[in-house]
Amino acid sequence: MNNHNKTQKGSPLENVVHWFDLVYSQELLFRGALMPLFGTNWNGIVAVGLIFGLLHLGSGRKYSFAVW
C-alpha cells in the first residue's frame, strides 16, 4: 500500500504531469465551459474573471493571486 501524503514529493516527471493536469483542467473549465456560457463580450469576460478570482481566494492564498 502506498502511503503517499502531501509532504512527500514525487519525481520530476510526476510533478510536470500534475502541473499540466492542473493547468489544462482550469483552461478547459474557464475557457471551454464558462466563456461560451457567459459569452465572449466584455461582460462575460469580466464575469468569468471574477469567478476565477473568487475561486482562488480559498486555501489561505493571498488576495493578489485572485486579483491578478
**Do 61 and 54 touch, CB atoms closer than 8 A?**
no
Its pTM stands at 0.57
The pLDDT tens digits of the residues spanning 1-48 come to 455 555 557 788 888 888 888 888 888 888 888 888 999 899 998 898
The C-alpha cell of 49 is what? 474573471
Work out the burial of residue 14: count CB atoms within 10 Å of its CB; fewer than 13 is exposed, 13-18 middle, 19 or more buried: exposed
Which three-class secondary structure state does DSSP give residue 8? coil
Per-residue pLDDT, 1: 47
Round to whole Å and give the CA distance between 35 and 25. 14
Per-residue pLDDT, 32: 85
The pLDDT tens digits of the residues spanning 56-68 come to 776 665 666 556 5
